[in-house]
């Protein structure tokens, strides 16, 4: 995994809640096959949306703080944050097109 | 180094037991906290079994690059004196790997009950490259390579208590599982053989999984699967690495879903392959229930005789089978070429398979050992370095035999005793090993075929091929028939070689 996309409980606030641009956060677990298979898709989207939307990944076992705060009950859970607020959430594997839809729709509604 | 950023989270020396709330299957966070007496702000902590002086620490804070227990090797960082146990250590792959890893500094142990020797003997065949008895092998590995192998004769299916004791004594940090019967035709001989193969493979592996849960849950199981689990889908869709990627989409009834994370369909082509498919599900479940870590290695058809270690002394040679049950296709072709028997293509000869040379398979395994999966991670690699039709392989063998060794090689088509697609699309995906684990093939198909001719033309080995040549042409039919297949056609070799040069 690309390390610059990995975040932890310690920098969650800085990276996500205080971000000036929207952030798509993937809450994932190493034991979760759909989580594993989302990684390459998220890497691609990270490049595609570079500068407009940040893509970040947080491991739910290593980071109980964020996991519990956002009541993550299944993996992967994808949450789109804007101005520190949760504006969209999806649970389960998402295709690249489904992710684009989430990002693009929410970008419009959050304007 | 490709694995420099891995942390203690991946390392088998970590002790996470009871300290991490793995939440597969929606376990309740509240229950876990209550049980562990944790408040809402707890952090993940672990201990290191190799460096107890660290006390409780954050397992993501130390990388392999920073840890003195992980040392640089030709294949990335490797855990110092890593304890690796090989099940099936007396076999073609197991013996090659134990010498390979031992020479890299791993503390190697091995288990075998000589099933493979017995099965081959039962069929009236033998390994054409003579191999020593285990006691001699162990002595030679110490003497020639300074590799000490902690060997125990154990049947992993019928002597589970002894295997449990051995695992408990060694506490392996990785378990390489080569302890299965690898033959499709052997499983198709009759009911007894099908039962033996499925029991040995499926139930043997199931026992090992339970032992890992109880004794070494942080260790990883690197298990040999086969590309044959997937079959050859006639739709022509790609053959993914075991699991659908997230951008593979199911469209139906004007709706669509990501298939990400679902196991890809399997289409086994013998009762042996069925045992491998069943294994896959057992391993997936063990990872899911107990957070075991596993690589399922879907190996292409293996071929070759050479690694530097097995070639270091005649007593260190690994076995090579060429009979219809245990001889893989390229190995069999070279043996046929040497004794002047036409190379046999089953049916059309247009079947396409993935292949990998012995020494490249060893490299892949080493790289996987050095990059253990994360807790609960079940990961699949398609382990092959190229794919060819069987007919193209026959031409390649014929050409090298003729041009380099002056052998008058012929190629024939015979009836196909198997039930399989003879003409099919084939689009395997096999990029993970190179992309994530840094694998680079170290030898070409032609070079390894040359190595094989070089070794097998040795008069003693040639004699051993001659002695068992009646076991090369198949008599085991998937239908249950027992008769020698008939020849359908003998090819004009010049034309075939001409074709191969196009």
Do A68 and B40 lie within an 8 Å CB cutoff?
Answer: yes
Q: Write phi, then psi, for B220 (nearest 5 degrees).
A: -115, 150
Among the options B276, B399, B410, B468, which is catalytic?
Answer: B276
pLDDT the model gives residue B220:
97
Dihedral Cα B4, B10, B12, B16, nearest 10 deg? 140
Cβ proximity of B246 and A26 under 8 Å: no
Do B29 and A68 lie within an 8 Å CB cutoff?
Answer: yes
Of B44, B247, B259, the CB nearest to A62: B44
pLDDT the model gives residue B499:
73
pLDDT per residue as tens digits for the range B329-351: 999 999 999 999 999 999 999 99
Coil, strand, or helix at residue B463? helix
CA pair distance B228, B232, nearest whole angstrom: 8
Q: How many helices (H) and strands (E) in chain B?
A: 16, 19
Q: DSSP states of chain A as a string?
A: --GGGB--TTTHIIIIIT-SS-EEEEEE-TT-HHHHHHHHHHHHHHHHTTTTSEEEEEETTT-HHHHHHTT--SSSEEEEEETTEEEEEEES---HHHHHHHHHHHHHHT-
DSSP-derived pairing of the beta strands B47-48 and B70-73: unpaired
Q: Within chain B, which residues score under 70 in pLDDT?
A: 17-33, 35-36, 38-42, 500
CATH, residue A41: 3.40.30.10
Location of structure tokens 């040379």 = B357
B374–chain A nearest CA distance, Å: 6
B250–chain A nearest CA distance, Å: 10
State yes or no: is B344 an active-site residue: no
Location of structure tokens 């991670």 = B377
Residue B477's CB is within 10 A of a number of other CB atoms, namely 18
Q: How far are the Cα atoms of B120, B185, B188, B352, B421 from residue B477, in angstroms, in the given order?
A: 18, 8, 7, 20, 15
Looking at the complex, does the CB of residue B379 fall below 8 Å from at least one CB of chain A?
A: yes
If you measure CA to CA, which chain B residue comes closest to A45? B247
Of B24, B257, B258, the CB nearest to A29: B24
Per DSSP, B391 falls in state H
Cis check for the bond before A76: say yes or no (omega within 30 of 0).
yes
> Within 13 A of A72's CA, how many CA atoms are on the CB side?
28
Contacts of B154 (CB under 8 A, 6+ apart): B111, B112, B113, B162, B163, B166
pLDDT the model gives residue B36:
67
Do B245 and A68 lie within an 8 Å CB cutoff?
Answer: no
Contacts of B465 (CB under 8 A, 6+ apart): B128, B322, B335, B338, B339, B456
Q: Write phi, then psi, for B106 (nearest 5 degrees).
A: -70, 150
Probe site for chain A from B43, B62, B246, B287 (most A CB atoms < 10 A)? B246
Contacts of B463 (CB under 8 A, 6+ apart): none
- Structural domains in chain B, CATH included, are 1-79 (no CATH), 81-501 (3.40.50.720)
Of A38, A40, A61, the CB nearest to B21: A61
State yes or no: is B272 an active-site residue: yes
pLDDT per residue as tens digits for the range A50-109: 999 999 999 998 888 898 899 888 899 999 999 999 999 999 999 999 999 999 987 655
DSSP-derived pairing of the beta strands B487-490 and B411-414: antiparallel
Cβ proximity of B389 and B411 under 8 Å: no
Instruction: Give kind and range of the element (H or E) at residue B285.
Output: helix B271-290
Residue B73's CB is within 10 A of a number of other CB atoms, namely 14
Largest CA distance in chain A: 37
Do B377 and A36 lie within an 8 Å CB cutoff?
Answer: yes
Cβ proximity of A15 and A8 under 8 Å: no
Probe site for chain A from B23, B42, B45 (most A CB atoms < 10 A)? B23
Do B258 and A94 lie within an 8 Å CB cutoff?
Answer: yes
Among the options B64, B272, B303, B450, which is catalytic?
Answer: B272
Cβ proximity of B82 and B10 under 8 Å: no
Cβ proximity of B450 and B461 under 8 Å: no
Dihedral Cα B161, B165, B21, B63, nearest 10 deg? -140
Looking at the complex, does the CB of residue A3 fall below 8 Å from at least one CB of chain B?
A: yes
CA pair distance B98, B147, nearest whole angstrom: 9
If you measure CA to CA, which chain A residue comes closest to B29? A68
Q: Write phi, then psi, for B279 (nearest 5 degrees).
A: -55, -45
pLDDT the model gives residue A1:
43
Return the HEC string of B356-384: EEHHHHHHHHHHHHCCCCCCCCEEEEEEC
Residues of B in contact with A74 (CB under 8 A): 26
pLDDT the model gives residue B39:
67
Q: Which domain range does residue A57 map to?
A: 3-109
Of B43, B257, B261, the CB nearest to A37: B261
State yes or no: is B303 an active-site residue: no
pLDDT the model gives residue B29:
58
Probe site for chain B from A28, A91, A93 (most B CB atoms < 10 A)? A93
**Token duo for residue A43:** 């890497």
Please give the interface size between A and B, counted as residue pairs whose CB atoms are below 8 Å apart: 106
If you measure CA to CA, which chain A residue comes closest to B5? A3
DSSP-derived pairing of the beta strands B293-299 and B378-383: parallel
Q: DSSP states of B113-171 as a string?
A: --HHHHHHHHTT---SS----HHHHHHHHHHHH---EEEEE--TTT-HHHHHHHHHHH-
Specify the number of domains making up chain A.
1
Among the options B7, B127, B226, B344, which is catalytic?
Answer: B226
Looking at the complex, does the CB of residue A90 fall below 8 Å from at least one CB of chain B?
A: no
Q: Write phi, then psi, for B11 (nearest 5 degrees).
A: -80, 135
CA pair distance B155, B474, nearest whole angstrom: 29
Do B249 and A3 lie within an 8 Å CB cutoff?
Answer: no
If you measure CA to CA, which chain B residue comes closest to A4? B5
């Amino acid at each position: 995994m690309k390390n610059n996309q990995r975040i932890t409980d310690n920098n969650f606030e800085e990276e996500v809640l205080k971000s000036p641009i929207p952030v798509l956060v993937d809450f994932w677990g190493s034991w979760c096959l759909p989580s594993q298979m989302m990684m390459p898709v998220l890497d691609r989207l990270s490049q595609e949306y570079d500068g407009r939307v940040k893509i970040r990944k947080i491991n739910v076992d290593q980071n109980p703080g964020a996991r519990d705060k956002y009541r993550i009950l299944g993996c992967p859970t994808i949450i789109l944050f804007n101005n520190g607020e949760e504006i969209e959430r999806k649970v389960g594997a998402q295709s690249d097109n489904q992710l684009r839809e989430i990002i693009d729709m929410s970008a419009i509604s959050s304007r | 180094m490709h694995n420099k950023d891995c942390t203690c989270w991946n390392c088998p020396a970590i002790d996470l037991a009871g300290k991490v709330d793995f939440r597969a299957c929606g376990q309740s966070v509240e229950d876990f906290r209550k049980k562990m007496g944790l408040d809402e702000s707890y952090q993940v902590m672990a201990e290191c079994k190799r460096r107890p002086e660290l006390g409780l620490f954050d397992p993501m804070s130390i990388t392999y690059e920073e840890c003195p227990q992980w040392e640089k090797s030709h294949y990335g960082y490797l855990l110092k004196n890593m304890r690796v146990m090989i099940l099936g250590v007396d076999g073609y792959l197991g013996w090659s790997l134990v010498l390979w890893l031992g020479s890299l500094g791993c503390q190697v142990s091995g288990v075998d009950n000589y099933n493979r020797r017995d099965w081959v003997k039962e069929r009236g065949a033998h390994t054409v490259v003579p191999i020593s008895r285990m006691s001699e092998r162990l002595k030679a590995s110490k003497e020639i390579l300074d590799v000490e192998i902690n060997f125990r004769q154990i049947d992993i299916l019928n002597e589970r208590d002894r295997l449990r004791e051995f695992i408990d004594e060694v506490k392996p940090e990785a378990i390489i599982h080569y302890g299965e019967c690898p033959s499709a035709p052997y499983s198709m001989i009759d009911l007894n053989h099908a039962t033996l193969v499925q029991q040995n493979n499926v139930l043997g592996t199931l026992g090992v999984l339970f032992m890992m849960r109880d004794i070494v849950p942080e260790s990883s199981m690197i298990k040999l699967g086969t590309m044959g689990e997937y079959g050859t889908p006639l739709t022509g869709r790609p053959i993914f690495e075991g699991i659908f990627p997230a951008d593979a989409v199911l469209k139906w009834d004007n709706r669509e879903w990501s298939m990400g994370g679902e196991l890809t369909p399997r289409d086994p082509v013998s009762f042996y392959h069925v045992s491998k498919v069943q294994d896959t599900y057992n391993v997936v479940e063990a990872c899911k229930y107990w957070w075991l870590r596993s690589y399922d290695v879907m190996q292409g058809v293996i071929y070759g005789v050479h690694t530097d270690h097995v070639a270091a002394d005649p007593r260190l040679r690994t076995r090579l089978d060429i009979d219809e049950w245990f001889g893989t296709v390229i190995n069999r072709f070279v043996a046929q070429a040497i004794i002047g028997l036409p190379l046999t293509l089953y049916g059309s000869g247009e079947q396409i398979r993935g292949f990998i040379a012995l020494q490249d398979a060893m490299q892949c395994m080493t790289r996987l050992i050095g990059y253990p999966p994360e807790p609960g991670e079940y990961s699949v690699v398609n382990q092959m370095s190229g794919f060819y039709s069987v007919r193209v392989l026959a031409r390649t063998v014929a050409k090298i035999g003729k041009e380099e060794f002056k052998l008058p090689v012929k190629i024939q088509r015979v009836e196909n005793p198997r039930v399989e697609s003879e003409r099919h699309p084939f689009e395997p995906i096999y990029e993970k090993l190179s992309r994530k684990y840094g694998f680079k093939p170290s030898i070409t198909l032609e070079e390894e075929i040359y190595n094989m001719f070089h070794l097998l033309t040795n008069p003693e080995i040639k004699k051993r091929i001659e002695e068992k040549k009646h076991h090369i042409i198949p008599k085991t039919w998937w239908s249950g028939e027992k008769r020698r297949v008939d020849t359908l056609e003998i090819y004009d070799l010049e034309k075939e070689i001409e074709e191969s040069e196009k």
